[in-house]
Structure 1
Amino acid sequence: MTNPRIVILASGSGSIAQAIIDAQHSDDLKAEIACVISDQASARVLERAEAAGIPTKIIAMTENRTDWDKEIVAALTDLQPDLIASAGFMRILSADCVSKFKIVNSHPALLPLFPGAHAVRDALAAGARKTGTTIHWVDAGVDTGALIAQEEVEITPSDTEESLHERIKIVERRLYVATLQQLLNESVRSHD
């Protein structure tokens, strides 16, 4: 039986994507990473994917958002993934895209608290005593999809945005990989 296919969407350095790649190489994640797609030609995640022998594709944002949306949907349709992992992908996907594919995202906060791009800073500014990471389904909103898994991270008095975010990332990478495998296992069972 062939392994299920994952596509990774990423915009930046690719630390979460690297955790997924490492888990696949060590067989902790039983999946084929079919492609890493980025909207940024200079994203380090592309180098990480190429070093692991994973195909890459750049779909840069265009002035015409509708054309970009169609290009993303066409690329994903061609790749036929069982699951899409949004790993630091800093673009909102169209309602058409999220309705056609199973897309999972991670967020550095305990949603529904602190949605959006500045979750760690927002948690600190609010004086929260704990935060964490959330793995959730992607819908047409911003960090509004159904929750799949969460894990707490304590906030210490000495935390800066950077130190807290680094501690969250450690938990986030582990939880994301475990959640992807759980979802793939459930998907395989539902097809049996």
Structure 2
Amino acid sequence: MLQLAVLISGRGSNMVKLAEAIETDQLDARIAIVISNQHCAGLAHAVNLGIETKVIERRNFTTRQAHDAAIQDAITSSSADYVFLAGYMAILGAEFTKAFAGKLINIHPSLLPEFKGLDTHQRAIDAQARQHGATVHLVTAELDDGPIILQAELSILPDDDADRLAARVLQLEHHLYPFVLKCLCEGHLTLAADQVNWHSPDLALQSLSADRRLIKALKWPKR
């Protein structure tokens, strides 16, 4: 059984979707701990799901490295096999990302490498981009720059503003992130430091037969 640590900073909606997928799809996985860098709504959701939670606030540490080390210790104590970032709004240092190389996964609200960082939806609109979406990727020391695991895209509509576009992308995220977890659990996907290996994407897609919206939206990484 895969043991997961999930890092959040806000409402934790992607964390909830991962937990729901584990139960609904009977995935061989368990969220061992949810860690936040601040008190937030997502912690209450985790408690309601029966998941252990821990708040590790940056203000209680003199350096970012010390803060990262405390988070690393909590993850290690949970025996997590993978760390899923789900709206974790803090930059993790090089030592942390190195410690979890190949096991640290993030979901970002853009089609990387486009629109790294914040305010991705408004920036996509301002750039008159036709397509937008979400990217699941391995986390490295460089911000939003790790190897792409999988993407899902949608068309930007003429009446989209940043809020409407954000809501539509979030719906994609809620399907995309659990699908990546499912593929990890079922062996269709393996990860290593700076390396993404899809072994049987066709078999993975068979489990999505009822989710035609996501099937049409998927963008597989270049091999």
What's the TM-score, normalizing by structure 1? 0.92
Aligned to 2:108: 107
TM superposition shift of 1:35: 0.5
- Would you say the 8 A contact 1:14–1:45 is kept in 2? yes
TM superposition shift of 1:28: 4.8
Aligned to 2:74: 75
The RMSD of aligned alpha carbons is: 1.7
Alignment partners' CA distance in 2, 1:188 and 1:78: 25
Using the TM superposition, name which of 148-157 and 18-27 deviates more: 18-27
Please give the per-residue CA displacement for 1:99-137, whole angstroms capped at 9, x wherever unaligned. Answer: 122111011110000000111111011111111110000
Matched, 1:38 2:32: no
After TM superposition, which residue ranges in structure 1, 4 or more long, deviate above 4 angstroms?
187-190
> CA distance change for structure 1 residues 109 and 189 in 2, over 3 Å: closer, same or farther?
closer
> CA distance change for structure 1 residues 28 and 128 in 2, over 3 Å: closer, same or farther?
farther
Alignment partners' CA distance in 2, 1:188 and 1:144: 20
What's the TM-score, normalizing by structure 2? 0.80
> What is the DSSP-based 3-state SS (H/G/I as helix, E as strand, rest coil) of the residue aligned with 1:104?
strand
AA aligned opposite 2:18: I
Aligned to 2:48: 51
Alignment partners' CA distance in 2, 1:106 and 1:155: 19
- Would you say the 8 A contact 2:27–2:185 is kept in 1? no
- Would you say the 8 A contact 1:29–1:177 is kept in 2? no
TM superposition shift of 1:25: 2.0
> CA distance change for structure 1 residues 77 and 131 in 2, over 3 Å: closer, same or farther?
same
Count of matched residue pairs: 187
> What is the DSSP-based 3-state SS (H/G/I as helix, E as strand, rest coil) of the residue aligned with 1:163?
helix
Matched, 1:86 2:79: no
> CA distance change for structure 1 residues 56 and 162 in 2, over 3 Å: closer, same or farther?
same
Alignment partners' CA distance in 2, 1:64 and 1:136: 27
> CA distance change for structure 1 residues 189 and 158 in 2, over 3 Å: closer, same or farther?
closer
Using the TM superposition, name which of 69-78 and 138-147 deviates more: 69-78
